Structure 1
Amino acid sequence: MHHAALPLPELDQAARIALQYPLAEPMPYSHYRGLSLSSHFQPIFSIAHGRAVGYEGLVRARHADGRTESPATLLAMPKDGRECLELDRTCRTLHMHNFARQASGHAWLFLNLNSQYLVSERPDIGFTRTLLRATGLPAHRLVIEIIESEVRDQVQLKQFIRHFRELGCLIAIDDFGAGHSNFDRIWDLEPDIVKIDRRLIQDASHSARVERILNGLVSLLHEAGCLVVVEGVESEHEALLAIAANADMVQGFHFAKPQPCLIDPTGVAETFARLRRGQQWQSGKRSADLQHYSRGIEGLFQQARADFAAHQQFAQSSALLFSDPRTVRCYLLDEAGYQVSPSVYPLHYQQRLNLRFAPLLCGDHANWSHKHYHFRALKQPGVIQVSRPYLSIADSRMCITLSQTVHVGGLLRVFCCDLDWQDR
């Protein structure tokens, strides 16, 4: 195949030069310091739609003898901000021409801009507008990716983002969750899409704690009005974690590697359908595991509750539960959610209490009405409620809570028992 070389544009002429390359030419490439630069595109898949909805443009560099050069080495070649911006514009021009030459439907093109040099060099902001006109690519199909932690001049960055928005482009924050990412930047910049750094999904595949962090992060980004892409998905397990976290899109080698041509792999819809079924099965299994975990102690719980109703000796009644080593504390709440008994701990757990959390260990007069185990027990009197695992403020450990109403002395109380639930 013949390739048309795109000459390296001068900064003050880049917009004009970009107009000189008609879309009739197939798959152009550029030269840069003895290297031949070409475009590769990695699909970004919608989990719900089961198909590619966007492609990230990635640069590939090759020597004249055919040897490849790493993108990191290429991006380290510029000596100053001006040269960095020059390379950045060369890559953008290359990717947009190559993307526009291919059938892409309504898919987005994700382009990573070096926002640090966009700010420091304060270049002509008409470059992207002219490039859009030259390629015929509608602005609403261009997603501008920035790494927010790179930029110190927040005011100038916001001006550039405003410019791209006025063009009609979408804004994405890349590598969120890595380095010095801050949520205040999310509130301030209001991106349309946030791409979560690949390190987070990798760590989540080995740690239930990080998995919970990932779930919470996706939920918080959704509350901020952002769509979420999980990057770096390289295994089925990681794909299931991304789906369980309620991410909107995924990107990674597990689904497709970057290629010069735009691809939407055959059978990918079936792959996502299978993954969604797998995640539903895992969710059902987790719920069944939780029920199985608590079922073995429900008999003891009923005995302790009945003993308390009969004798009104809370500590004595709670001790019936301590024969099960999973029990970590018992406590009694009133209808308003106030704790009306001291927390009672088994001896084996007292020895493990972390005194660093001593201010929180005493639950006297604390109010737990905002907790699901309290209001669910009141909503269904006489029925044992089993909470989902959560972090207990009492000792900063994961637990689940069994709760049930009980009548004593004409008063309605909620009998509660916490079970240890470490990362299982």
Structure 2
Amino acid sequence: MTSLISDAAGITIGSHFHPIYSLAHRRTVGLEGLLRATADGQPLEPLDAFARIPSTERHRFDLEVATAHATRFQPLAQGPNWLFLNVDTASMLRPDQAARLADTLLATGIDPQSVVLEVLEHALELDIQLIAALTTLKKAGFLVAVDDFGVGPSNLDRICELAPEFVKFDKHLLRGASTQPRIRNLLHRLVHLMHDSGALVIQEGVETETDVLLALESGCDLIQGYYPARPAEHPDRDDVITPRIDARWDELMVRDLLKRKITRRQLELARQSFVQTAISLIQNTPFDEAAKPLLSMPDAIRCFLLDSEGRQIGRNLDSLPGRKAAGKPKFAPLADTTGAVWSRRAYFQHAVDQPGVLYMSEPYLSMTDTRSCVTLSMAIEINEALHVLCADILSPHGTR
């Protein structure tokens, strides 16, 4: 019988598993296999265990660890779950190594579509051979996850080229989102960006109630961290995990309900202001005078008027004195928007599709200053010609 590399190095291999939980399905859908090793009866950190293995034998040791995880995973799986396995990129750079990994896992009897191979994002940039190896494994039926997205420079070209099934957001994105509104907004957009690339998003590092709420708000698909469950040889099951997450769902629903009530009130006030301004414009009142009701709205930044083709008529009208952004105008070269064409903006397109209906855009960065805003718009007729009346309002996470 061939001796194992771990035996020769005096290492005993063990496995712990860390649940990966679907927020929408309210159940565990995957387990990440984590090496738990001992030497001479004492715990050994995974990096220390690998350091004991000669570099020439590293790939064989990787196969031993993968075999141990796959063998122990199958009795633990709660239904059709995925096994997430970390891939040592240094031992995956040759086609024969990728083929050997596939054969080793298949020999355990596990379905390749139940295995997700995790690779660190920065490794994709270091060696293009790794992408070729992973592509080969994907063709064999295995799934791929890009790990630690958001640590250091992120290369979207590599992600699009590899087309992973999952992207795991690093916990530092979550930490930043908890203290910085701009990162919080960015997190939401990054999730959409990954969805557009065809990947589901796993948020790592979910450790607190706040983290769960941020993950829910971001729209990510799956979560992993100490709050749902800690890694263990026999980790918590869903009858323990789900009540923890449900409590946060309830909290978020209450918060969203309050937000919707506020938004409805804001829209009603805006509608009244739009009607007042529209009537004045129809009566040929100068725009500066007609726009006063709009500019008096809370958190109003500016208003402007577009023709039927989305071209701006005249200049922006700024909010009432005392509400302008402090500091130097960073975007001064873009401040004059007379004649600018906004026909591709959602606020213009929605308005012309439904004349007389007030529309509110998603938050975005204004091109004319450093603030995040939403744009309210409504199509109206002035002198029998279609126009679109617009007002920029400071978004809830905007900066004054």
1:333 is displaced (CA, Å) by: 0.9
Deviations 1:358-416 (A, max 9, x none): 23211111122232332333344334433343222222411122323343333232222
Superposition pairs of residues 241-252 of structure 1, within 5 angstroms: 241-252=214-225
Task: Pick closer, same or farther for the CA change 1:31–1:266 going to 2, 3 Å.
Answer: farther
Tell me, yes or no, if the aligned pair for 2:167 and 2:199 is still in contact at 8 Å.
yes
Per the alignment, in what secondary structure is the counterpart of residue 312 of structure 2? Answer: coil
Which 4+ runs in 1 deviate beyond 6 A? none
Superposition pairs of residues 34-49 of structure 1, within 5 angstroms: 36-49=12-25
Match of 1:418 among 386, 389, 392: 392
1:389 and 2:363 aligned: yes
1:240 and 2:240 aligned: no
Corresponding pairs, count: 396
Deviations 1:304-343 (A, max 9, x none): 3333332431123334544556222121111221111211
Match of 1:93 among 67, 82, 87: 67
Superposition pairs of residues 211-222 of structure 1, within 5 angstroms: 211-222=184-195
Distance 2:241 2:156 in 1: 33
- Provide the residue aligned with 1:266 in structure 2: 239
Deviations 1:135-171 (A, max 9, x none): 2222221111111312456441133113312332111
1:293 is displaced (CA, Å) by: 4.3
Of 222-231 and 232-241, the range deviating more from structure 2: 232-241
Q: CA RMSD in A?
A: 3.0
Task: Pick closer, same or farther for the CA change 1:367–1:92 going to 2, 3 Å.
Answer: same
Deviations 1:178-237 (A, max 9, x none): 123211011111111111112112222223321221111111111111122111111233
- Provide the residue aligned with 2:144 in structure 1: 171
Per the alignment, in what secondary structure is the counterpart of residue 344 of structure 1? Answer: strand
Deviations 1:80-134 (A, max 9, x none): 7435445433432332232245455321111001113422x77644432342244
Task: Pick closer, same or farther for the CA change 1:268–1:152 going to 2, 3 Å.
Answer: closer
TM-score, normalization: structure 2?
A: 0.86
1:336 and 2:281 aligned: no
Tell me, yes or no, if the aligned pair for 1:50 and 1:270 is still in contact at 8 Å.
no
Gaps of 5+ in 1: 1-5, 10-29
1:40 is displaced (CA, Å) by: 0.6
Of 327-336 and 81-90, the range deviating more from structure 2: 81-90
Task: Pick closer, same or farther for the CA change 1:32–1:152 going to 2, 3 Å.
Answer: farther
Code of the residue aligned with 1:377 in structure 2: it is A
1:146 and 2:119 aligned: yes
Tell me, yes or no, if the aligned pair for 1:55 and 1:262 is still in contact at 8 Å.
no
- Provide the residue aligned with 1:20 in structure 2: none
Gaps of 5+ in 2: none
1:253 is displaced (CA, Å) by: 0.9
Task: Pick closer, same or farther for the CA change 1:403–1:102 going to 2, 3 Å.
Answer: closer
- Provide the residue aligned with 2:30 in structure 1: 54
Tell me, yes or no, if the aligned pair for 1:353 and 1:395 is still in contact at 8 Å.
no
Superposition pairs of residues 49-88 of structure 1, within 5 angstroms: 49-64=25-40, 66=42, 68-75=43-50, 77=51, 81-82=55-56, 84-88=58-62
- Percent identity reads 32
